[in-house]
Structure 1
Amino acid sequence: MSQRSPRTRSPYATQPCPCGRDAVYQDCCGRLHAGLASAATAEDLMRSRYSAFAVGDEAYLLRSWHPDTRPRRLGLDARTVWVRLEVLGTTGGTPFHNEGTVDFRAVHRERGRESELREHSRFVRHEGAWVYLDALPA
């Protein structure tokens, strides 16, 4: 299992999870960010990564990225507010697969303007855990 984020209790702990599931952050993606659980599916990992962007957990994003494609750092912009996530489709990526894709739309706000990121992400298992590999061309 990954090492824990330096954060012991997120200010988001009792807020609804940014990933859109019907749970509070500490019981949903917060468990993955803290290293208390692992993603069971590629979609779970993608949702937890979206939540990591929303709460500013760069360490988790880097830990959950495949080492062959992972950047050295991300430099998250605190002015970016992640508004909502919409999962559009998945292929593979279940507990019985070793790879999978997740097609999603993530809405964010920067400088008062709302825009969206649309991505078809690829995930693979690395050392037994789901990790983000890259994005397929649209």
Structure 2
Amino acid sequence: MAKRRRETGGGACPCGTGAGYDECCGPLHRGESTAPTAEALMRSRFSAFARGDARYLLQTWHPSTRPGELTLDQGQRWLRLDIVDTGGGSLFEAGGEVEFKAHYRAGGRTGTVHERSRFTREDGRWFYVAEA
């Protein structure tokens, strides 16, 4: 399993909100708080990919679809996240979907993952379920 690149760190959060990492996704990654919405969880998961945090990705993956382990490609650099659309996933809902474009660079080439993901909330915590 891949190891986390950094525990904490200043600078802009990779998720694209414009906030600093230590105020944005950092508390989620460190277990100090949980994502309040499906979109916030999606953003924090993108940041975890960008920072190489496989532990957080597995923790926020629903047990019904979670793989036994996760190996991240260390040669892939996640550049930017664009949220395209959301459906549900608010503070008061038990499910939601987030459509996004995640831009990356690997092997000297750029690419984009365009996906609509499903999320569920159980016991007040959001989890990634699967591609919708």
Higher RCO structure (Cα 8 Å, ≥6 apart): 2
CA apart distance, 1:14:
0.7
The TM-score normalised by the length of structure 1 is 0.90
Contact 1:31 1:37 in 2 (8 A): yes
* Alignment correspondent of 1:59: 55
CA apart distance, 1:91:
0.4
Matched, 1:39 2:35: yes
Return closer, same or farther for 1:107/1:8 CA change in 2, 3 Å cut-off: closer
* Alignment correspondent of 1:92: 88
Percent identity of paired positions between Structure 1 and Structure 2: 48
Matched, 1:48 2:70: no
Match of residue 116, structure 1, among 112, 115, 120 = 112
Give the gaps of 5 or more residues in structure 1. Answer: 1-5
Give the gaps of 5 or more residues in structure 2. Answer: none
The code of the aligned residue for 1:75 comes to T
How many residues align? The count is 130
CA apart distance, 1:115:
0.3
* Alignment correspondent of 1:102: 98
